[in-house]
Structure 1
Amino acid sequence: MHQHMPSLGRAQPRRSPWRDLSLSTLVAGLVAVLIGYGSSAVIIFQAAEAAGATRAQTGSWMWALGIGAGLTSLSLSWRYRVPVLTAWSTPGAALLATSLPGIPMDEAIGAFLFSSALITLCGITGLFEALVRRIPAALSAALLAGVLLRFGLETFAAVERDWRLPLAMLLAYGLGRRLAPRYAIVLVLLTGVGLAAALGQLDLAGIGLTPTWPVFTAPSFAPATLVGVGLPLFVVTMTTQNLPGTAVLQAAGYRPPSSPLIGWTGAASLALAPFGGFALNLAAISAAVCLGREAHEDPARRYTAGMTAGIGYLLLGVFGTTVTALFAAFPAALITALAGLALLGTIGNGLAGAMADARQRDAAVVTFLCTASGVSLLGIGAAFWGLVAGLAMLGLTIRRASGA
């Protein structure tokens, strides 16, 4: 794939988003936003509740995260002409849900600022990019496949709970891939929403269009909270979000400079932390929707999917609480099947890339299995440990091969 994209990852001002935009990239961006909100909004609410947030503050958290993800996705995708999607740290939100009870809101905001400052520092100094350059392509592809595997599995597991939506959407995907591959996910989305409405599974009652207003909270910096909350939030965001997010881009053949991406997401988090933007980072799962052939046959035009997602996040940020309620109205089977089918091609490409080089195959399999297992050690997620295990196996097998 790389030989077809020699300039991807660099600024290409001659390309016009208006000319490069297509229906398929538009839908890919919107599906990415749908997956982002549908899969993790409830965890953000739990984290805000753990911090003792009022209803207005909870809405402000959703506003800050939506605005931050929107601005960074839109601007970075346009700047580098690469589908760069950002998002909030879902593992970070899960961490906060368990670690914030009993901690005052102002101290929590101080921890958010501390974590964001560390992320920004990693981007400015280039430490993160130096690390990423040492990751072999096969392990990046295996990491991608491992991160996304559970979404493919859950598509078929959903059949056990309610077979109608997943099977109808799978049928729509197959027909779409045969008749109009670029618009297969469009057909999947329309089929899912239409069938859910016909089955009476869309509950839109009581949903009103109300803008969300940001609430500023002045931070305070308690050493115990900075170490107990801010430092783990930084580690979790970098290892389980930014690392896979970079791997997803690399596995798709894109090579934007990692340091500016990390630096800008950290800076955006710094600006929005007092309003509840606890951590912004490179997206992995939702980004994968915009990186494959389903988004567009031409890899150089897929950046418009990232820009579309950015605009979607901005709109949803303004109407944060309203839109979250809207996504909650969709049945779980629809969200699950949509995510799995939208990522099907990307999972396949990741597996193909991981297995392509026989010399790295053992290490890639170890990375894939460890990442897919979901194991968590020392508070650090499976993506990090999968990469560590794969690199260790690669070192052992290379030595064995050279010594044979």
Structure 2
Amino acid sequence: MGKSVQPLLAGVVTALVGFASSFAVVLAGLRAVGADDRQAASGLFALCIGIGVTAILLSVRRRMPITIAWSTPGAALLVSTGPVAGGFAAAEGAFLVAGMLIVAAALFPVLSRWITAIPGPIASAMLAGVLLELCLAPAHAVVQVPWLAVPVVLVWAVLYRFARAWAVPGALVAAIAAIALAGTDRPLSGGLWPEPVLTAPTFTASALISIALPLFLVTMAAQNIPGIAVLAGFGYHPPIRPLLAATGVASIAASLFGGHALNLAAISAALAAGPEGGPDPKRRWIASATAGVGMIGLGLAGGLAMALVTVSPPILIEAVAGLALLGAFASALVAAVTPVEGRDAAIVTLVVTASGMNLFGVGAAFWGLVAGGLMYLLQRRRPVRRSADTAQPVIETPSAQAGAEPVVGAGLRR
């Protein structure tokens, strides 16, 4: 393959995989917080345009493969949050504030330090709790619509084994084929081309606490920080603050048309920044810029994507979204429970977040962070006693209380 062609093909693949593997999550999330079909299609279109323009500008300016994506964990958060007081206009207000917080994190590094100061198990557990509901959807779909869901799951499983990057796009194609063969009595909603819908945002306390703050946290912790690490892993070290500022400004612009959040790509970034992006690392920026062009083109398919969602059983689209998120859920769960220190707090965070509880109009993700944080502080404040044989402090851990050997000189990891 020619050196000039490989980055272009890598960019096309990056755009196709990024769009097809998670657009269903985005549409499900926007609809969950009150968007109608036109508003959801508009939000998807705005995100694609924002991704494309930002990726092209940053890649050309920095001559690095800087790939941009929508916040897939953020979209899953919207599914778990559900409707908020004030409807979709209030959700848009929360999207706008989340974008402003990303810009603030770029201007004031202390905000980024606060994010990284959240104990890793708690942050990962909140993400796992947010993703759990959608990850259960494939199992529910097999029970509710087996004639549609079983072929989708089988195609996904086979491709996951032999061509992992194409597993979710393949499952999507299988879903389209299954719907076409089975037929549908659901009416087609909207046109096949996206129509930008400008909605004046409103601001409510419940939406800001339920959506804006958790959306900012998961976008930073689960997307931007890993995205920076992916670039560094391939030898690219761009200045971070301009990148965060650019994605924050793009998020603010997209929010006015229904988009929830943009960020540095984490998983799909490797397709452009790695060897697949070309043999010459100095030319791999062409791959990310091409991916940006591809996302703009795919944004024009937002209306068609919304049409597919409207004619499909909702559980089937959620099943495809759940298959797309299984890897992210597994990674978050492992990161949450692997460290012994903070494991109890992580489990509390996961359970409360996954419960879907809504208290005082505030969603479960916020309460999961609160409950897990309180549990973490409670564990840290356990009294420290001195060993009779040594001068080292002995902190009683859950295993010690159960009769196992106490951990000498142990402390809870920050």
TM-score, normalising length: structure 2 = 0.66
The answer to whether residue 163 in structure 2 is matched with residue 174 in structure 1 is no
Corresponding residue for residue 123 of structure 2: 140
**Contact 1:142–1:365, Cα closer than 8 Å, also in 2:** yes
- Counterpart CA distance in 1 for 2:273 and 2:196 is 40
Q: Which amino acid aligns with 1:354?
A: A
* Shift in Å, 1:115: 7.7
* Shift in Å, 1:98: 3.1
Tell me: CA distance 1:344–1:280, structure 2 relative to 1, closer, same or farther (3 Å): closer
**Contact 1:86–1:283, Cα closer than 8 Å, also in 2:** yes
* Shift in Å, 1:387: 2.5
* Shift in Å, 1:151: 0.9
Corresponding residue for residue 239 of structure 1: 213
Give per-residue Cα distances to partners, 1:318-344, cap 9 Å, x unaligned: 565555334423442431221111222
* Shift in Å, 1:208: 5.2
- Aligned match for 2:223, one of 242, 246, 249: 249
Q: How does 1:148-187 map to 2 (within 5 A)?
A: 148-187=131-170
The range that moved more, 370-379 or 202-211, is 202-211
* Shift in Å, 1:197: 1.5
Corresponding residue for residue 364 of structure 1: 346
- Counterpart CA distance in 2 for 1:154 and 1:304 is 37
Tell me: CA distance 1:348–1:329, structure 2 relative to 1, closer, same or farther (3 Å): same
Tell me: CA distance 1:196–1:265, structure 2 relative to 1, closer, same or farther (3 Å): same
Corresponding residue for residue 317 of structure 2: 335
**Contact 1:316–1:323, Cα closer than 8 Å, also in 2:** no
Q: Which amino acid aligns with 1:129?
A: S
Tell me: CA distance 1:194–1:158, structure 2 relative to 1, closer, same or farther (3 Å): same
Corresponding residue for residue 27 of structure 1: 17
Tell me: CA distance 1:23–1:356, structure 2 relative to 1, closer, same or farther (3 Å): same
Corresponding residue for residue 104 of structure 1: none
Tell me: CA distance 1:192–1:262, structure 2 relative to 1, closer, same or farther (3 Å): same
* Shift in Å, 1:149: 0.6
**Contact 1:43–1:94, Cα closer than 8 Å, also in 2:** yes
- Aligned match for 1:189, one of 144, 168, 172: 172
Gaps of 5+ in 2: 1-5, 232-238, 278-283, 385-393, 397-414
The answer to whether residue 380 in structure 2 is matched with residue 398 in structure 1 is yes
* Shift in Å, 1:134: 0.2
- Aligned match for 2:257, one of 268, 271, 277: 277
Corresponding residue for residue 234 of structure 2: none
Number of residue pairs aligned between Structure 1 and Structure 2: 360
- SS of the residue 1:130 aligns to: helix
Percent of aligned pairs with the same amino acid: 31
Tell me: CA distance 1:303–1:172, structure 2 relative to 1, closer, same or farther (3 Å): farther
Give per-residue Cα distances to partners, 1:22-63, cap 9 Å, x unaligned: 7477324322224312542575644x9xxxxxx8x9987775
The range that moved more, 192-201 or 119-128, is 119-128
- Counterpart CA distance in 1 for 2:92 and 2:287 is 32
- Counterpart CA distance in 2 for 1:186 and 1:254 is 26
- Counterpart CA distance in 2 for 1:297 and 1:114 is 31
- Counterpart CA distance in 1 for 2:205 and 2:65 is 33
Q: CA RMSD in A?
A: 4.8
**Contact 2:352–2:368, Cα closer than 8 Å, also in 1:** yes
Corresponding residue for residue 18 of structure 1: 8
Gaps of 5+ in 1: 1-15, 49-54, 102-107, 220-224
* Shift in Å, 1:361: 1.5
Q: Which amino acid aligns with 1:238?
A: A
- Counterpart CA distance in 1 for 2:341 and 2:266 is 26
The answer to whether residue 82 in structure 2 is matched with residue 98 in structure 1 is no
Tell me: CA distance 1:87–1:365, structure 2 relative to 1, closer, same or farther (3 Å): closer
Q: How does 1:47-58 map to 2 (within 5 A)?
A: none
- SS of the residue 1:359 aligns to: coil
- Counterpart CA distance in 2 for 1:76 and 1:189 is 30
- Aligned match for 1:385, one of 360, 367, 370: 367
Tell me: CA distance 1:161–1:251, structure 2 relative to 1, closer, same or farther (3 Å): farther
* Shift in Å, 1:345: 2.1
- Counterpart CA distance in 1 for 2:92 and 2:311 is 31
Corresponding residue for residue 86 of structure 1: 70
